């Protein structure tokens, strides 16, 4: 089977954008510090329990998103595999569950575009393995949860 991430396709992509009131070095640094990442990453109401954090090209971040739903705690295991890190410019990640051959894993490219006023436009592009999978994740709230994550980054940076 061909690698679904070798070709780009609009019907498999989700794009999230956030203007942050900080220089790109500071925004980028928030992604590189495992302790900081665990503080701001994830949707509103969820916390992060980090199990392994080796944030470099070839490294991984293995963590659980933890939240309370219908009165009981739920854990969502996650694995980010860092494929490329260009300081202050770009991070490329394979993102999914910790299973070795997760069929639902997707590619994330985060870019940091510094503006003339010292602010940064952060763009997070998700490329899903199929248009059907993209529809599934949109259906369970991936766009809203992704925007909440970027709001969490903004709040952390402002704090």
CATH number for 11-158 (one of 3.40.50.720, 3.30.530.20, 3.40.50.1100, 1.20.1070.10): it is 3.30.530.20
pLDDT at 2: 61
Cβ count near 87 (within 10 Å): 12
pLDDT at 83: 98
The contacts found for 145-148 with CB under 8 angstroms, 24 or more apart, are: 145/42, 145/43, 146/14, 146/16, 147/16, 147/18, 148/42, 148/43, 148/44
What is the Cβ-side half-sphere exposure of residue 92, based on CA atoms within 13 angstroms?
Answer: 7
Residues in the chain: 159
Cβ count near 37 (within 10 Å): 21
| Per-residue pLDDT in tens (0 to 9) along the chain, 159 residues | 567 767 777 899 999 999 999 999 999 999 999 999 999 999 999 999 999 999 999 999 999 999 998 999 999 999 999 999 999 999 999 999 999 889 999 999 999 999 999 999 999 999 999 999 999 999 999 999 999 999 999 999 999
Sign of CA dihedral 38, 60, 134, 128: positive
Strand partners, 50: 63
pTM summary value: 0.92
């Amino acid at each position: 089977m061909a690698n679904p991430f070798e070709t780009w396709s609009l019907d498999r992509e989700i794009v999230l954008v956030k203007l942050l009131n900080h220089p790109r070095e500071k925004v980028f640094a928030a992604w590189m510090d495992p302790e900081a990442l665990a503080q701001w990453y994830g949707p509103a109401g969820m916390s992060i329990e980090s199990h392994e954090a080796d944030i470099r090209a070839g490294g991984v971040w293995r963590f659980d998103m933890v939240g309370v739903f219908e009165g009981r705690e739920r854990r969502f295991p996650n694995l980010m595999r860092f494929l490329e890190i260009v300081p202050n410019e770009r991070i490329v990640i394979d993102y999914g569950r910790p299973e070795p051959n997760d069929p639902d894993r997707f590619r994330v490219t985060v870019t940091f575009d510094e503006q003339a006023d010292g602010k940064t436009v952060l763009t997070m592009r998700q490329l899903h393995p199929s248009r059907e999978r993209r529809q599934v994740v949109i259906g369970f709230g991936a766009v809203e949860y992704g925007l909440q994550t970027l709001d969490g980054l903004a709040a952390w940076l402002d704090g």
